Structure 1
Amino acid sequence: MNLLVVKANNRPADQAVSSKMYEAFIEEVTANNNVNVTTYDVYEENTPYIGQELFTGAFKLEAHEQLTDEEQQLFDAVQKARDLFTNADAVAFVFPLWNLTIPAKLQTFVDYVFSAGYTFKYDTEGNMVQLMPEKKIILLNARGGVYSAPELAPMEMAVNYMRTSFNGVLGMEIIDEVIIEGHNSQPDKAAEIIAEGIEKVKSVAKKLGN
């Protein structure tokens, strides 16, 4: 199995639970000889935002015109992300909930791969056709509040966004999901909550490639 791990938090593991989840996951999965692991750290990679440069550059490429340095950097960044995503049998996203949603750097990665002509297309009747439904997705998320509670669930736009994007729209199967939540809102239980979640993360890693 070729596994791509998309890391979306650059805070150290002693300060960020999702970083702790990443370290636990990587430690377990790299010990599995049946899994080839590649990490894409959104904070280490050059990830320019998508904007007009992408569309201008696309028109230039069609006309065989020279790209500007800015346009070329964007196209190179998109191509690298897509090459890694294409080659992966499974993709594990490790990310926090920040301000009710995902980090902007992770959003940029999603923008690179959530694209017509790449992960989906439209047929002659205008229906959307999913192009990579065989790809497997793993979601590993940490959030300090208890967003599974009915009163907070509608506000949660991180895991819900990733579920909707990769499973709901792109048709990829979410084979595992671990959410560690409540460690900030319940500090007296934080150590227990985190420890239990980390064990679940390790269990997910151990199952891969079997």
Structure 2
Amino acid sequence: MNVLVIKANNRPDGISTRMYDTFLENIKDNKEVNVSTYDVFEEDTPYFGQEVFTGLGKQHEGLELNDTEQRLLDAKQKAKDVISEADVVVVAFPLWNFTIPAKLQTFIDYLAEAGFSFKYTAEGALQPLLTDKRVIFLNARGGNYSDPSMAPIEMSLNYMRNIFGGHFGMKVADEVVIEGHAAAPDQAVEIIEAGLEKVAKVASELSYQNA
């Protein structure tokens, strides 16, 4: 089983960074899996824009790409390749300003391609194409966004569910959320440690059998 672990936080002391590290530490001895990693901040992930579409058009016509277009299409292809090779995708990411980091959004933009992650049927309906994969979310957010009064402005985990689980069709196999540690600093240590224990459990129990 090929497991891809995506890191979407470049803060060394970030809670989702700790979740990422904890997951890797607890899966490293699992003989059933081959683990690879992808750091959206360390990889070359130029932002998605018109240059991508121009490059794709040139590529289709067999024309030479400029350096910017080639760089973007290479980054896009690498993102598609690492997803294609994975049976399980694990994403460790924070809530920043109510949503996901821009670099993670760029990675998703690379993947959201008709014919790769979805297609349209003859009737015009959207059909996901990555239904053979599982996804695990490791999300950290300082406030209590599970509270009904806060839930409507939580656009990180909810967005990831809709994209990976809905638009791409992956099975959401597990979620670990660490939240409230900033809102309740006197309880932060306990909240974080309890969450990291859950991350360790998910990692250590990952197998073909819990598909």
State the TM-score, normalized to the length of structure 1: 0.97
Match of 2:127 among 108, 129, 132: 129
Q: Secondary structure at the match of 1:142?
A: strand
Q: Secondary structure at the match of 1:193?
A: helix
1:191 aligns with 2:189: yes
1:209 aligns with 2:207: yes
- Paired residues, number: 208
| 1:48 equivalent in structure 2 | 46
Shift of 1:113: 0.9
Q: Aligned partners of 1:190, 1:126: CA distance in 2, in Å?
A: 48
Q: Deviations over 1:5-38 (max 9, x none)?
A: 11001111xx211111111100011121111111
Q: Gaps spanning 5+ residues in structure 1: where?
A: none
Q: Secondary structure at the match of 2:148?
A: coil
| 1:107 equivalent in structure 2 | 105
Alpha carbons 2:130, 2:170 under 8 Å: kept = yes
Q: Gaps spanning 5+ residues in structure 2: where?
A: none
1:91 aligns with 2:89: yes
Residue type at the aligned position of 1:139: F
Q: Aligned partners of 1:164, 1:202: CA distance in 2, in Å?
A: 25
Shift of 1:50: 1.2
Pairwise CA RMSD of aligned residues?
0.9
Q: Aligned partners of 2:40, 2:14: CA distance in 1, in Å?
A: 16
Shift of 1:209: 2.1
Alpha carbons 2:128, 2:166 under 8 Å: kept = no
Residue type at the aligned position of 1:94: A
State the TM-score, normalized to the length of structure 2: 0.96
Shift of 1:175: 0.3
Percent identical? 56
Residue type at the aligned position of 1:97: L
Residue type at the aligned position of 1:79: Q
| 1:138 equivalent in structure 2 | 136
Q: Aligned partners of 1:49, 1:158: CA distance in 2, in Å?
A: 19
User: Which structure 2 residues correspond to residues 1-210 of structure 1 after superposition, within 5 A?
Assistant: 1-12=1-12, 15-209=13-207
